[in-house]
Amino acid sequence: MKHDPRLIAAAVVLAVVLLAAGPAFLPPFYVRVGQLMLYSAGLGLAWAILGGFAGYASFGHSAFIGIGAFAAGLVESRYSGLPPVLLLPLGLAAGGLACAILSAAIAYPILRLRGTFFAIAMLGVSHVGAEVTNNIDFFQGALGLNFPPLAPADMDPAAFYYELFLAGALSILLISWLIRRSRFGAGLLSIREDEDTARMLGVPTERYKRVAFVVSAVLTGLMGVIYAHSLGYITTESVYRDDTNLSLIVYSLLGGMGTLFGPVIGAGLLVFITQVILGRLLDFHLFATGLLLVLLILMAPGGVNGLLNRKRRPA
């Protein structure tokens, strides 16, 4: 069954308009839930460029959230006299650059590892980053960093950051779509299926992996900068979080590993379950995430997208 591209484009535009108008009719609680959904979707999409497309599942992407957030906070505190309209671009540039430099520096050695070894190595990178930020006074991880308010005086801050998260998530979705449709994206998928065979067929696997790693890290860091501003104050513990590392994997598994919209679906479902359905059981979140992951692997290994595709197929 073929889909009319014009209908798809119209549906996407309508969805974006409805999402952008969300703060105008949603109660304050659901605006904040929407913030978390959009933030999580952006992170899930960024993670999936490496973990979903190339098959290199990272257990330590919160390292880039923390690096981006702290780099932005340190630079912005030095130029705090600038108007807010200039501070955010400056922070995004600093956070993205810091993530690009670090990811490019560690890409060659760490991407020589595969599977569980790569996943655990990335978890180590996250923990080392947290320790460095927390114990070296220059980074102020233990003391914490303040971020200046950016929202215009006539706009609710929650609505302002909702729109920022929406812009970030849509930008990463567009980048992911362009990658998926490109020769580069096809190369990443071939690496996921069989890296050795892809190399034999002429795919520049090492270069493609390094580029995917850096792009994924930078996009994750940019979302981390927006997240830090939405909090207003961060410490090491608020950005280097192991539950975030776990959640990023669950988003793709829940929605459909390696698919474009899988992380978006997974993020929306998991945030809704943990924040709305289980909102009063804060200590239950990690247990619920783990239980959901086990049930998903047993009942729907292909995620929500896999279930939908099976239902569409004729019997």
pLDDT of residue 277: 76
- Mean pLDDT of each 10-residue bin along the chain, 315 residues long: 66 86 90 95 95 93 96 91 87 96 95 92 95 91 89 90 95 95 94 93 94 97 96 94 89 84 89 79 67 70 58 51
pLDDT of residue 253: 84
How many CB atoms sit inside 10 A of residue 7's CB? 9
Question: What secondary structure letter does DSSP report for 145?
Answer: E
Nearest to 258 by CA among 214, 313, 199, 212: 212
pLDDT of residue 223: 97
Nearest to 262 by CA among 214, 314, 301, 218: 301
- Name 138's Cβ contacts closer than 8 Å, sequence gap at least 6: 74
Whole-angstrom Cα Rg for the chain: 19
Helix, strand, or coil (residue 38): helix
CA angle 301, 64, 213 (to 5 degrees): 65
Tokens, residue 300: 């729907």
pLDDT of residue 1: 47
- Name 143's Cβ contacts closer than 8 Å, sequence gap at least 6: 235
pLDDT of residue 315: 45
Return phi, psi of residue 234, to 5°: -130, 150
Question: What secondary structure letter does DSSP report for 233?
Answer: E
Long-range pairs, 291-294, Cβ under 8 A, ≥24: 292/250, 292/254, 293/249, 293/250, 293/253, 293/254
pLDDT of residue 118: 94
pLDDT of residue 132: 94
Nearest to 274 by CA among 263, 265, 282: 282
